Structure 1
């Protein structure tokens, strides 16, 4: 399969293929399809594409588009944060045998360029953030109580090398960005495996429609909340806030750099009290000690909000995915802002 791909790459380049839209999706089929995808990936056809996806959102997106036409594997282990992980010798060996690497981009995987340059193979690399308008990560806690950094980089050039920390990488949390990501993934699959182009296009149509339904839900249910600010474990929700008119106050920064200092803690506690914030959003992959301390000091409850950087194995096995988690997150946001 890799020899075929090498020949194709001599003729075709990514980003030139238009992908059509079409078929409808049935909501009730999603959960069962997710279970089948995660339980039977080894059943993909012999000689099919071998694909690694760096972290959960692009892994889920790639599975949705590739279906049973490829063997899609998650590179960053379940339960580990994508912000601080780098591949070791085991992963480098696996990538050496892969046909395609799909990554989030936007500076999240700062190691990608170095790894790709060191691999002695014609692996196809897919930057799923291509054509997404990125939000600069210019925020600092000092001298601010409410953190507002929802300025977009309209003229962002994806050809330039992203310096880690230059942009907010949590692009998938805006469903419209997720649509761009699955389009980039579908284009790459169609180029690499043109015999199954119609299959990939059909899956793209299906999930494009499903993701846009999620966007509509967020637009409708967050159109006029009683409050407009969320307090979160780390500033992962900039794209949600930018798109739906909210603000976020992060206990940790965009890249989950570590616990805040005493001054910042005092500012957050004062803000929660003064603004009558009733919910502190925590997440599974970050220590909740600081959030618990703020909760104890202010009386606000802690609630798990999933930034989708990674799901637990239990969540994956039960059929949870991008769609179900985004819907669950919306319910929690609506309650916290009411």
Structure 2
């Protein structure tokens, strides 16, 4: 009897250990949750998450929607994400057509939600996407006047509190900073080719734009959404976030202002480093994975040649590859840049054929597990990018 009891005890302990191991493996990274007594902010992808944490400091709890190591072009929100957005004090998305799912998300928010929806790119002067680059973020952009997407269906939020201004009044966030957003194209409808079950109503639209859409979508009016990759435009994103934090949580305005000023100074320093380091280099041409460095190239006099289009899964044609090889040969390009969150197979194949090498140029659409573990942030990754640009352009 004692032997049976002993075996039973061992079996139960083993079962408990197994359950603990399974639980630990499945829950090693617990899902972010809303925190009482803090300003809960949900951000659509990594740069906005990093900026918000820097500006909000201890007063905010920031939940980033796109998981670590996931490329945001292929991501759509699930039920828990929708719940967090509707229950938070702020939801910050980029706009400029980057998040193909955001229009439906805003439209589907409950009418009793008090969330302030912030289009971070409001006021940024957008640049056109290169013709024929396979843009598939959404429909041609309309006026970028600071108005929130989905304002008509979600205008009831304007009556909740002064801090929760109506989506159609985003431009007012710049009044005390003397930033008046210019009317620029940026009202993108959701037509993302990778949209899945989280938005069934949007899936039919997305299906119509799969496959050949990557190469055929050259319609006039598409704008480049990768505004965060220039320190100058990144500062405008940070300013918009700060202004809305002040509106939502005026009691901590002084802290938000001080944190923003500190971060803005870091961005100014970063801009000066880029300007001084790149201006004297003999080469200005870069070959990149996808068309994400337009703002950086414009700011510092570079010419980017993308292998793909605006989305990193937009496969190039044979003609595209021939043009890239000719570009490499003509301009004496020494390196092809690849990204860490997408396959480097094509970049390395091209590099081998052209007898050049590869380097990382990070579009900072997300971070890897290792980068997160090591505490890497926007400033550090941008500095790493600069070091690799200097190496490639010497």
TM, length-normalised to structure 2: 0.69
Is 1:161–2:149 an aligned residue pair?
A: no
Equivalent position of 2:52 in the other structure: 62
Alignment CA distance shift 1:224-1:188 (3 Å): same
Q: Which structure is larger by alpha-carbon Rg, 1 or 2?
A: 2
Provide the rounded CA distance (Å) in 2 between the counterparts of 1:57 and 1:204: 15
Contact 2:76-2:101 at 8 Å conserved across structures: yes
Deviations for 1:268-326, whole angstroms, at most 9, x for unmatched residues?
11221232211000001221111111111011101111110000122022111011111
Equivalent position of 2:131 in the other structure: 139
Equivalent position of 2:387 in the other structure: 331
Equivalent position of 2:121 in the other structure: 129
- Within-5 A mapping of 1:77-96: 77-96=67-86
Runs in 1 of length 4+ with deviation above 6 angstroms?
Answer: 42-45
Higher RCO (CA-CA < 8 Å; seq separation 6+): 1
Provide the rounded CA distance (Å) in 1 between the counterparts of 2:222 and 2:118: 20
Equivalent position of 2:334 in the other structure: 278
Deviation at 1:56, TM superposition (A): 0.4
Quick one: which of 261, 266, 278 aligns to 1:210? 266
Equivalent position of 1:198 in the other structure: 254
Alignment length (residue pairs): 288
Contact 1:44-1:68 at 8 Å conserved across structures: no
1:234 partner SS: coil
Alignment CA distance shift 1:332-1:127 (3 Å): same
1:281 partner SS: strand
- 5+ long unaligned stretches in structure 2: 1-28, 135-140, 148-185, 191-220
Equivalent position of 1:20 in the other structure: none
Contact 2:34-2:84 at 8 Å conserved across structures: no
Is 1:116–2:172 an aligned residue pair?
A: no
Contact 2:42-2:62 at 8 Å conserved across structures: yes
Equivalent position of 1:253 in the other structure: 309
Provide the rounded CA distance (Å) in 2 between the counterparts of 1:46 and 1:238: 40
Is 1:307–2:377 an aligned residue pair?
A: no
Tell which deviates more after alignment, 130-139 or 183-192: 130-139
2:75 partner SS: coil
Contact 1:132-1:177 at 8 Å conserved across structures: yes
Contact 1:45-1:69 at 8 Å conserved across structures: no
Equivalent position of 1:293 in the other structure: 349
TM, length-normalised to structure 1: 0.80
Structure 1 vs Structure 2 CA RMSD: 2.3
Provide the rounded CA distance (Å) in 1 between the counterparts of 2:33 and 2:78: 27
